[in-house]
Amino acid sequence: MDLKSFAIDHAGQIAATIGLVTFALAKNKLTPGGIVSAIGVAVVHMLSPWPVFFWLLVPFFLLGVLVTKIGHEAKARLTQSSTGSGGGEGARNWVQVFANSGWACILIALHTYLVTSTPFRSIHLGLTPGPYAPALTRVLPIGIMAQYAAVGADTFGSELGILSKSTPFLITAPWKRVPKGTNGGVTIEGVAYGLVASTLITLIAYATLGMMPPYRGLGAPSAVLVIIAGVFGSLLDSFLGATVQATVTDKSSGKVVEGPGGQKVLVRPGGSRVMIGRDLLSNSGVNFAMAAGASVAAMVLAYALDLGV
């Protein structure tokens, strides 16, 4: 397909991408690198013959912007930045964009290949017409939807859960209370917000699949599986945060210190900061691992239960 045909066939998606990029620049939601990464992610989603994947990306971004804005000033006072300013989410960089959408891009590329490639090409890759390729083609959309349900649930849970009146507890030690913003900290309200986000993403997928090519229905069992995978993803993110991501706190204020763009916070011996936990993954690394884990779990269950799209 040449560029002209591509532009005509994807005019609505291109217009939506331009609109979102313009909005992100105007509101400083993405760094320049984040803009480039977001455009790349959008293009990968456009290349799929299933428009539902692109139209899941759009509400995910908009809902993320919405919940990040809610209580922004209050959240800025609950944590502090490693640069010395207030806490809260700043402009997202390319690493954060990839962490939230990279796994979906990988699955979309594989799904696009499977549904558009000729049998000759597929045989040489060993993907089809073998016995597992049809099942893989059916469960890949479940994995893609589960990825967005999971990252959406995690965003809602962290951005809105931190505003709850209750003190978070550590997911690996529920009897232990921790400061707000602690990696692995959980509140009941945060889990509930995650369920709301997962349900919203699934409902959008349900509606879009029926209205756009290839006009596949998302059955109730598959929809429930995606919703559960979303909530599971938010809990998995908390578990990974508690076990493989360090939390840095300020000695004098007791507040959690956050690095810009999700980067690790520098802690000097004898300094004013204390590191708790194992420093194996950054926040972006945890997000990517969570998205992949929730997605794979959903696909495995879909295969075992003979579900799919």
Whole-Å CA distances, 42 to 47, 108, 146, 225, 249: 9, 11, 18, 26, 36
Give the pLDDT of residue 7. 79
Give the pLDDT of residue 263. 77
In a domain, 245, yes or no: yes
Domain count, the chain: 1
**pLDDT at residue 118 tops 70:** no
Q: Give the model confidence (pLDDT) of 119-169 as tens digits.
A: 544 444 444 445 556 788 899 999 999 999 999 999 999 999 999 999 999
In a domain, 309, yes or no: no
Q: Give the model confidence (pLDDT) of 7-30 as tens digits.
A: 777 899 999 999 999 999 998 999
Give the pLDDT of residue 124. 46
Whole-Å CA distances, 155 to 18, 36, 291: 24, 22, 12
Q: Give the model confidence (pLDDT) of 171-218 as tens digits.
A: 999 999 999 999 999 999 999 999 999 999 999 999 999 888 888 889
Beta strand spans in the chain (E): 80-81, 169-170, 173-177, 185-186, 247-250, 256-258, 273-276
What pTM, to 2 d.p., does this model score?
Answer: 0.91
In three-state secondary structure terms, 126 is: coil
Which phi and psi (to 5°) does residue 71 adopt?
65, 30
In a domain, 22, yes or no: yes
In a domain, 102, yes or no: yes
In a domain, 50, yes or no: yes
- Outline where 79-132 has alpha helix (H): 94-116, 119-125
Give the pLDDT of residue 257. 86
In a domain, 107, yes or no: yes
In a domain, 289, yes or no: yes
Give the pLDDT of residue 123. 47
Query: In this predicted structure, which of 65-79, 95-109, 171-185 has the lowest mean pLDDT?
Result: 65-79
In a domain, 36, yes or no: yes
Q: pLDDT band for position 61 (50/70/90)?
A: very high
Query: Which residues form the domain of 134?
Result: 3-304
CA distance 1 to 264: 43
Query: In this predicted structure, which of 85-94, 187-196, 236-245, 285-294 has the lowest mean pLDDT?
Result: 85-94
Q: Give the model confidence (pLDDT) of 240-273 as tens digits.
A: 999 999 999 988 888 888 877 777 888 888 778 8
